[in-house]
Amino acid sequence: MTLRIVAWTNTWNRAAANHGDYGSLMHLTEGGISGKTLCGRTYPASKGHPFSPKLCKRCRAKVQSVDLKSLVWVPSRED
């Protein structure tokens, strides 16, 4: 299983992210530039602010142990 981190803004926090504040929670995924997270949420190809304060508890529960520092972020587009 190859996990990556994804974070995106939604209509509720897009304004905050555009002003340098936090984006949405960090989630874990096995998908590409768009798809589903481990907790079942769908994320868009257009990512929001790349910094988030914490990891989704449901995504964390799906994996036994993961070192977040070893994971890469889902890019806005695949190279």
User: What's residue 32's pLDDT?
Assistant: 85
User: What's residue 31's pLDDT?
Assistant: 85
Query: What share of the chain in percent tops pLDDT 70?
Result: 66
Parse the chain into domains and list their residue ranges: 4-70
Mean pLDDT over each residue of the chain, to the nearest integer: 77
Residues 6+ apart with CB under 8 A from 36: 29, 42, 43
pLDDT digits (tens, 9 = 90+) for 12-47: 556 665 555 555 688 899 988 888 999 998 888 767
User: What's residue 48's pLDDT?
Assistant: 60
pLDDT at 65 over 80: yes
Spatial distance between the Cα atoms of 32 and 42, rounded to a whole number of angstroms:
12
